Amino acid sequence: MPALSPTMTEGNLSKWLIKKGDTVKAGDLIAEIETDKATMEVEAVDEGVVLDLLFKEGEANIPVNKAIAIIGDPNEKVEVKKEAPVEKVIEEKKIEKNIETKIDNNNADIIDTPSPKIEEDRNLSSEEITMRQALRDTMAEEMRKDNKVFILGEEVAEYQGAYKVTQGLLQEFGKERVLDTPISEHGFTGLAVGAAFKGLRPILEFMTFNFSMQAIDQIINSAAKTLYMSGGQINCPIVFRGPNGAAAQVAAQHSQDFSSWYSQVPGLKVIAPSTPYNAKGLLRSAISDPNPVIFLENEILYGLKGPVNNDVNFSIPIGKANIEKEGKDLTIVTYSIMLQKSKEAALRLKEEYNLDAEIIDLQTLRPLDTETILNSVKKTNRLITVEESWPFGSVGSEIANIVQRDAFDYLDSPVIKVNSADVPMPYALSLEKLYLPQVDDIINAAKKVSYIK
């Protein structure tokens, strides 16, 4: 099973294009593989006779690097056991490593364990769906409700979304409401902002937020400020969404986290979902909001599975954090992908150091739910923040400021921030791991605020 995208960990065998006994040459198409992003045809690299097909058509979740067919010389004896363990080269760099307790061994999906509060949700689905599905469903539901909602961006229509988040929307809503744009962020962002001024409700997908740099003038100077500059006359109901932060080995220009950049701007609301459940509730709030909303998804989380609330009116209010796990010894404030690492760290902190960490998942970065943070700190007296952004002026920096200002007397130790390294993202697998906050970094920070050597 070949790795056909930077974030692919497994694939589905959609179709065999060869059969046993066929002779294939290098370059011949041999199979169709469904990845986390698309369905792709795979070519043979070697020449020979198809000796065996190790998986049937339709078999799913085949790990990357697993043998799927044997091509060779019929006169030579080849032995490959279907169940033979294969070298797991890619596993090393994956977040799954850090949340292995939640990985079903027969299925490499990341499964979110909902917080106790969410488990109380009576409408919680028994079925677990991926984050991309949750986002897609919510957009479709809102587009059914209001024909002023439309989506535009690169590859959102015919390609079905660069990360398959808009899959099927073109078929359901047509090309008037699902628009492929040229690679022209500055232009189509300004166009969408103008459409929002005039009363439409665009959902604009950035293929990744790295490319929003091309359009940041329209986001800040036009979308965020016009309500104010017009004395309250012209609002801009638009959602800018797409993956933010690091994917896997895509290096400096495609891995930046923009959460603190956008959170600095009055006039914008900034949301960073962490699970399929809150992605659904928060995206609905974002689309319904009359203001411009930056909706920061995460590419690695697109495959995260979990239960959701399928009520088409279910929403999570903007500006409200979720206490993911209650605890008494220290507070971990985090958001987006770092929630999963923080949960893993909390399990180990309990096991190894008997520390009971409270985890706050911010969900919204602006407006920030300072009340929930302060109440937690007043209870635990210790705080660490965990986020993927660069350290200087990060969301954690602001939280540290708020907490020292409003809860100074409650703190038993200085606030410690866990961030990415203060360098551009490197390409090499080993350096990338060093760059990103890891579970051990969170544990070390927790030990430090608890004065554990």
Partner 1 sequence: MKKLQKADYIKMYSFMLKIRRFEERAAQLYGMGKIGGFCHLYIGQEAVVVGILMTIDKNDSVVTTYRDHGHMIARGLDPKRIMAELTGREDGYSAGKGGSMHMFSKENNFYGGHGIVGAQVPIGTGIAFTHKYNGEKNICRTYIGDGAMNNGQVFEAFNLAALWKLPVLYIIENNKYGMGTSVDRAAAGLDLYKRGEAFGIPGEKVDGMNVFSVIEAADKAGKYVREGNGPYIIEVQTYRYRGHSMSDPAKYRTKEELDNYKQTDPIEIVKAEILKKKIATNDEIEKINKDTLEEIKNAAEFATNSPFPKDSELYTDVYL
Judged by CB under 8 A, which of 75, 106, 126, 233 binds partner 1? 233
Strands, E assignment, 78-222: 124-130, 149-153, 178-180, 201-205
**Binding window for partner 1 (CB under 8 A); candidates: 40-48, 88-96, 123-131, 231-239:** 231-239
| Nearer of residues 175 and 433 to partner 1, judged by Cβ | 175
Other beta carbons within 10 Å of 451: 9
Cα(249)–Cα(6) distance, rounded to whole angstroms? Answer: 7
- 231 near partner 1, judged by CB under 8 A: yes
Element containing residue 384 per DSSP (H, E): strand 383-386
Tell the residue number behind the tokens 């989380």, with chain if given. Answer: 301
| In the complex, minimum distance from the CB of residue 160 to partner 1, in angstroms, rounded to a whole number | 21
- 150 near partner 1, judged by CB under 8 A: yes
**String of DSSP letters for 23-64:** EE-TT-EEEEEE-SS-EEEEE-SS-EEEEEE-S-TT---EET
| Nearer of residues 193 and 296 to partner 1, judged by Cβ | 193
DSSP-derived 3-state class of residue 289? coil
Length reported for the chain: 453
**Binding window for partner 1 (CB under 8 A); candidates: 24-32, 34-42, 75-83, 228-236:** 228-236
| Nearer of residues 80 and 179 to partner 1, judged by Cβ | 179
Cα(296)–Cα(262) distance, rounded to whole angstroms? Answer: 10
Cβ–Cβ under 8 Å, residues 391 and 422: yes
Cis check: omega of the bond before 367, within 30 degrees of 0? yes
| Nearer of residues 291 and 331 to partner 1, judged by Cβ | 291
Give the residue numbers annotated as catalytic, written as ranges: 185, 254
Encoded one letter per residue, x for contact with partner 1 by CB under 8 A and - for no contact, window 172-211 reads ----x--x-xx-x-xxxxxxxxxxxxxxx-----------
Encoded one letter per residue, x for contact with partner 1 by CB under 8 A and - for no contact, window 101-140 reads ----------------------------------------
Question: Contacts with partner 1: how many residues (CB under 8 A)?
Answer: 40
The angle at the Cα of 293, spanning 215 to 369, to the nearest 5 degrees, equals 130
| Nearer of residues 189 and 256 to partner 1, judged by Cβ | 189
Q: Checking DSSP bridges between strand 10-16 and strand 62-63, what pairing results, if any?
A: antiparallel
Q: What residues from 261 to 290 belong to the interface with partner 1 (CB under 8 A)?
A: 266-267, 269, 290
Residues that bind partner 1 (CB under 8 A): 150, 176, 179, 181-182, 184, 186-200, 217-218, 221-222, 226-235, 266-267, 269, 290-291
